[in-house]
Amino acid sequence: MAISDELLDQLLVNYKKPEDLVGEGGLLKELTKRLVERAMQTEMTDHLGYAKHGKSDKQAGNSRNGKYPKTISGEFGELQINVPRDRDASFEPKIIPKGQSRFHGFDDKILSMYALGMSTRDIQVHLEEMYGVEVSPTLISQVTDAVIDDVKSWQNRPLDEVYPIVYLDAIRVKGRQGGHIINKAVYLALAVTMEGQKEVLGMWIAENEGAKFWLSILNGLQNRGVKDIFIAA
């Protein structure tokens, strides 16, 4: 969607310093609030089938029933918005779903920092310094735990019966454990499928590289459906 120069001029008519744009109470935060609220009003209109102040059979059908405040978190910090509601409580906003208090993309930031080995406390401090958002350790744990089931499903997914080539290797990486940085071995199984596509069969982490752990990995691949490997490299 193109934004005209005339609209930008109107938005920036009172701009004098960076805080007017990105600071607390600045243009970006206010614009986010207005856009989110307007989007939810549009969703409500689509849900009810008539515009605000429009005609409807209120005795037979559903209708608007005021608003309620909700605080959301995102790159803009914390923001209070007004969420519209209907009489029979059947309206569920898509842009900020019920039960969600974090704007799109916020969870991804937590997960990316977690993947880099940052502790819960490090993530908490970083989010507060960068975005002005106070995030509890419980919330961070909820976000990281939410992907555990998907990770486990991926680790145990069924595999093809035959692979022309499977590369097996381990690399040493540094990781955080108990507040200390230690070296760990990351085992990798990378296959080439019969269609010529590369596929990561799995990744495993152990304290050290050893033949016993490699045997457990190969047994695991067999249990997941692999019957033959032409070349193991």
Q: Which of 51-60, 105-114, 188-197, 223-232 has the lowest mean pLDDT?
A: 51-60
Using the predicted structure, report yes or no on whether residue 60 has a pLDDT greater than 60. Answer: no
How far apart are the C-alpha atoms of 163 and 18, rounded to whole Å? Answer: 57
Q: What is the pLDDT of residue 141?
A: 80
User: 163 and 225 in contact (C-beta within 8 Å)?
Assistant: no
Last residue of a domain, one of 82, 117, 146: 146
Residue 108 — very low, low, confident or very high, per pLDDT cuts 50/70/90?
confident
Please check whether residue 205 lies inside any domain of the structure.
yes
Using the predicted structure, report yes or no on whether residue 30 has a pLDDT greater than 60. Answer: yes
Please check whether residue 4 lies inside any domain of the structure.
no
Choose between 104 and 164: higher pLDDT. 164
Same domain (yes/no): 199, 223: yes
Please check whether residue 169 lies inside any domain of the structure.
yes
Last residue of a domain, one of 103, 136, 168: 103
Last residue of a domain, one of 117, 146, 175: 146
Of 74, 67, 79, 83, give the one whose Cα is nearest residue 108: 74
Q: Containing domain of residue 168, as a range? A: 159-232
Average pLDDT over residues 225-230: 96
Please check whether residue 7 lies inside any domain of the structure.
no
Same domain (yes/no): 91, 110: no
Give the mean pLDDT of the chain. Answer: 82
Strongest mean pLDDT among 40-44, 90-94, 223-227 = 223-227
Please check whether residue 152 lies inside any domain of the structure.
no
Length of the chain counted residue by residue: 233
Strongest mean pLDDT among 25-29, 111-115, 224-228 = 224-228
Q: What is the pLDDT of residue 158?
A: 94
User: 176 and 211 in contact (C-beta within 8 Å)?
Assistant: no
Q: What is the pLDDT of residue 138?
A: 78
Average pLDDT over residues 213-231: 94
Please check whether residue 71 lies inside any domain of the structure.
yes
> How many independent structural domains does the chain possess?
3
Same domain (yes/no): 21, 99: yes
Please check whether residue 204 lies inside any domain of the structure.
yes
Same domain (yes/no): 110, 97: no
Query: What is the tens place of the pLDDT at every residue in 168-186?
Result: 999 888 776 666 788 888 8
Choose between 205 and 19: higher pLDDT. 205
- Which residues touch 102 (CB under 8 Å, ≥6 apart)? 72, 73, 74
Using the predicted structure, report yes or no on whether residue 163 has a pLDDT greater than 60. Answer: yes
- Which residues touch 53 (CB under 8 Å, ≥6 apart)? none
128, amino acid identity: E
Same domain (yes/no): 207, 196: yes
Same domain (yes/no): 28, 94: yes
Please check whether residue 92 lies inside any domain of the structure.
yes
Same domain (yes/no): 95, 29: yes
Q: Output the CA–CA distances (angstroms, integers) from residue 185 to 107, 128, 180, 204, in the order listed.
A: 28, 33, 16, 8
The whole-model pTM stands at 0.49
Average pLDDT over residues 47-59: 70
